[in-house]
Amino acid sequence: MRPAAAFAASVFAAKDDDDDWEDIDPDDIEFLDGEFVVEAFDDEDQLAKALCAEVEENAKACLAERGGFTLAVPGGSVAKALAGLKDAKGIDWSKVHLFFVNERVPDGKCHKLAMDTWVGAVGMPDANVHKPDAGGSVEEEAAAYEAQMRTLAERDDDVMMLDEVNGLPVFDLILLGMGADGHVGSIYPDSAALKDETGAAVLGVDMPGKRSITMSLPLINTAERVVVAASGTKKAETVRAVLEDDESELPGACVDAFSTIFFLDSGAASKLVAYAEEEE
Ligand SMILES: O=C1O[C@H](COP(=O)(O)O)[C@@H](O)[C@H](O)[C@H]1O
């Protein structure tokens, strides 16, 4: 995989094996695959470029290595930040499979946003854009969406693998946004989805006004690489809690994939002790 730091204005801290923060040299970032890294960018534009670069570079690496690439995207600001992918060169989108981290059902809000923002422009075949479309209860939608992932894993072209330990689909890259309350996907603080122990890859969420499906935390944490993006000072306190409070049980604090990267803008990073020390 590519080093994560190509667009980083500041790579300021990483967790070592003992879970303590340590300063890192951006030049050493290639040795951090499998680690936990936080990067801060000057503004949302830089953050958006970094998100697009993550997709581009990971897609190219996976396509070269296996001839396939599996990507999951959320809605909200991260979805909008991917507009730059329209200009990406050298990616065979016919070999990329796109899923949604969470989705309103039956509305398909994240699918529509992705299509309008970049997917419609890059020429990804419709069959590669996997959206929940089963109908029925949120549980039925969730089960059917998980089945779509498993059907892909049953193909003999290695585009989607199953984890040898937990049997869950392994995504190459999952992008997450994080709400000001610390939610990721449709996994909200103190919710049934956060506490779920069924081992399901996809869960139904039947909150008033938010009838959704969401990837489960075990599925998210089985991915090769997860990037959590947050911007704006309104999220600064939540970002601080998620990254610097060892006791935090917020959904964002439960993201723990093999390679976990937090992309922040300066506003979202502003309350981090590690960031303040870097700025001094
Ligand atoms: O409700 C949601 O919010 C999160 C965060 O959105 P953002 O616009 O503040 O980045 C988003 O990732 C998720 O898909 C959406 O359902």
Query: What confidence tens digit (pLDDT) does each residue in 185-220 have?
Result: 999 999 999 999 999 999 999 988 889 999 999 999
Q: Is residue 204 part of a domain?
A: yes
In a domain, 56, yes or no: yes
The residue type found at 270 is S
* C-alpha to C-alpha distance for 174 and 223, rounded to whole angstroms: 7
Could you count the other beta carbons within 10 Å of the beta carbon of residue 263? 28
Ligand 1 pocket test, candidate residues 80, 112, 183, 203, most atoms within 8 A of CB: 183
The tens digit of pLDDT for each residue in 153-180 reads 999 898 999 999 999 999 999 999 999 9
Q: Which residue has the tokens 């309104």?
A: 234
213, part of any domain: yes
- The total number of structural domains that make up the chain: 1
- Starting from the edge strand earliest in sequence, which strands make up the sheet with 102-104, in order? 102-104, 210-215, 202-207
H-helix or E-strand spanning residue 64: helix 44-66
Is residue 25 a part of any domain in this protein?
A: no
We report the CATH number of the domain holding residue 148 as 3.40.50.1360
Residue whose CA is closest, atom 8 of ligand 1? 76
DSSP 129: B
CA of 72 to the centre of ligand 1 (A): 14
Q: Using CA atoms of 57, 54, 256, 186 in order, give the dihedral in degrees to the nearest 10.
A: -130
Residue 23 lies in a domain: no
Q: Indicate which atom in ligand 1 lies nearest the CA of residue 78.
A: 10
Give a yes or no: residue 20 inside a domain. no
- ipTM for this prediction: 0.96
Is 97 part of a structural domain of the chain? yes
What is the extent of the structural domain holding 180?
4-14+32-279
Q: Which ligand 1 atom is the nearest neighbour of the CA of 101?
A: 14
**Whole-prediction pTM value?**
0.90
Q: How many residues does the chain have?
A: 280
Q: For residues 39 and 68, is the Cβ–Cβ distance under 8 A?
A: no
Please give the residue that has the higher pLDDT: either 248 or 27.
248
Rg (CA), the chain: 18
> What one-character DSSP code corresponds to residue 189?
T
Domain-embedded: residue 257? yes
pLDDT at 7: 30
